[in-house]
Chains A and B, each alone.
Chain A
Amino acid sequence: MSEVLGEEPEVVLAERRYEAISRILETVVRKREAKKLTFTDILDHVFLHRALGIPIFLALLYAVFQFTFSFSAPFSDMIDMFFSWLGGLAEEGVMPANPVLASFLSGGVCAGLGSVLVFIPPIFMLFLALAILEDCGYLARAAFVMDRMMYKLGLHGRSFIPMITGFGCNIPAIMATRSIENEKDRIITILVNPLMSCSARLPVYVLIAGVIFGSSYAAGAAVFSMYLLGIALAVMMALIFRRTLLKGLPAPFVLELPRYMIPSPKSVILHMWERGKWFLIKAGTFIFAVVVVIWTLSTFPWGATSGGEIIENSYIAAFGHLIEPIFRPFGWNWQAAVALFFGFLAKEAVVGTFGALLGAGEEAVDTALASAGWFTPLTGFAYMVFVLIYFPCVATIGIMLKELRPKWVLFAATYTLVLAFIVAFIVIGVGHMMGME
């Protein structure tokens, strides 16, 4: 049929359907005047342009991440200052009466949880920017322009909407794949979705990029490059799966584009809040529990660690030294290895772990991490790459188990871990070849 029609049958069917609708409308609707040119027509000419459509999308994405990274910095600093002040207050006020409680409040709650909560501004700003793009009607266009490229690569265009949703959180993104009718297309989209950099990974990028590049534009570019790398890897892996495990042609993509409109501030703020509030809930429950576990492991045995002062004698150090050899080729120490381990539970826990292990206290976690000198620009960048790729978080695994058979979930967990090691090795190798430390 495709050969006879010169087009996919589904596309021809959709075109014929709309032609029929137009014919019916012409006979039953009496227009007072000819169709006027609208802003939607004007803007679509540029934003859906064959050559400029994708570069414009990438340029806007870059603007979103610069806004997220750089504009949020002073607001994060304010939260950081608050927790540092609170930590100092807890230490001074509670220490004489109850040293364990003082250590918990200052090292666990203020340093650990505080180091995660400082990322409220970038996460909310990311959702604000994405809400503006979505509400003005642009995100649907982004899926449309990416569809052209993705279809040529053997992928389904509808896959890109869950992929963009994945920038926020992989869980709703995986649930959004239910709109993909073709089973193989759906499995591929779910398998590659964890490679789309969710907002839980943003705190890790912002922290590490800030530590290794300072507050220069390079730090923003490093964060942006993680998102680009995520898209590139997702497309590459999808292509590999399409050519090997899930052979076949993708179903054609027919998408009705909404009109452009000026987004209403109320709707944008509501969208931002709806998506961002889960971070607050997660930080107050799950991340808090993880931080308590890390604090306990890093301060006990109480006597041996002198109340958490000599962390090398703690349970967490023993565990860290056990897993450190796996990550030593990348130049990461046991603290970085432990942070990755807790990142299996939730990616924000990586930052929480650094906060608790550094016992940042009076210092901001980024300042403490920079002073500790645990990362060079090369090892730090490789760490960011590893965090981007390795293992979906526990909650994502849970939703994948609902949507896929267990063998696919196991496959997703395994391939992301293997891919993380491979890509991080490549980064380190290329860096060494370029003469970096």
Chain B
Amino acid sequence: MSDFDPRIGRVMGVYALALGVLYLLFGLMEIVGVGGSGTDPIPIPGDLFGGLAILVVAATYLNGVRGLFRGEHVGLSFLIGALFLSAVFGVLYLLLMGADGLSYLIGSSDEFAALADFRPEIWFFLLSLPLAYQVWKLTREVTW
């Protein structure tokens, strides 16, 4: 028996699957360090631990897909956990971008490479916001 409307669950499941696969691909690229310069639309830094961290986000999204398709709470749990991690890393890299901008403003850095700082984690965080809105609608009644 499903805990919420499986039709909504299926839509969220597809979205979570897409995000999970994206995180997985970009996580692997960060680990391998395939790169991507600051002029690319999505620069991919060679960052071993950063790559491993977003593989964890990918695993959390992907773990929830089956539960979401069945409309089960367990799927929603993984989805909320993954959205939380997406937000942590998205906001983290946005803050780091702000810190780089501040360094440039006070003159301790020669250039503000805003585009190079715009890591995939920020894009994915923005992409996860519609899903977060859907989850919020589903869990409005839930208390802490």
A and B from one assembly? yes
Contacts of A220 in B (CB 8 A): 49
- Quick one: closest B residue to A218, CB to CB? B47
Among the 9-residue stretches A58-66, A321-329, A341-349, A426-434, the one with 4 or more Cβ atoms under 8 Å from chain B is: A58-66
Q: Contact between A42 and B142 (Cβ–Cβ < 8 Å)?
A: yes
A7 CB within 8 Å of chain B: no
Q: Contact between A55 and B59 (Cβ–Cβ < 8 Å)?
A: yes
* Bound-complex Cα distance A81 to B63 (A): 48
Q: Contact between B144 and A46 (Cβ–Cβ < 8 Å)?
A: no
A36 CB within 8 Å of chain B: yes
- Interface size class, chain B: 35 or more
Q: Contact between A221 and B50 (Cβ–Cβ < 8 Å)?
A: yes
B57 CB within 8 Å of chain A: yes
B21 CB within 8 Å of chain A: no
A38-B144, A62-B50, A74-B103 known; A52 vs B80 contact (CB < 8 Å): no
Contacts of B102 in A (CB 8 A): 74
Q: Contact between A74 and B50 (Cβ–Cβ < 8 Å)?
A: no
Chain A min CB distance to B39 (Å): 18
A17 CB within 8 Å of chain B: no
Q: Contact between A43 and B77 (Cβ–Cβ < 8 Å)?
A: yes
- Quick one: closest A residue to B81, CB to CB? A46
- Quick one: closest B residue to A224, CB to CB? B49
B11 CB within 8 Å of chain A: no
- List B42-75 residues whose CB lies under 8 Å from chain A: 45-50, 52-53, 56-57, 59-60, 63, 73-74
Chain A min CB distance to B82 (Å): 8
B32 CB within 8 Å of chain A: no
Contacts of B109 in A (CB 8 A): 215
* Bound-complex Cα distance A225 to B52 (A): 13
Chain A min CB distance to B112 (Å): 11
Contact with A along B77-94 (1 / 0, CB 8 A): 110111011001100100
* Bound-complex Cα distance A378 to B49 (A): 19
B129 CB within 8 Å of chain A: no
A411 CB within 8 Å of chain B: no
Contacts of B48 in A (CB 8 A): 221
* Among all A-B residue pairs, the 8 with the closest Cβ atoms: A46-B81, A45-B77, A77-B108, A74-B102, A59-B53, A59-B56, A74-B103, A217-B47
- A-side residues, CB < 8 A to B, are 36-40, 42-43, 45-47, 49, 52, 55-56, 58-60, 62-63, 66-67, 70-74, 77-78, 81, 215, 217-218, 220-221, 224-225, 259-262
- B-side residues, CB < 8 A to A, are 45-50, 52-53, 56-57, 59-60, 63, 73-74, 76-78, 80-82, 84-85, 88-89, 92, 95-96, 99, 102-103, 106, 108-109, 139, 141-144
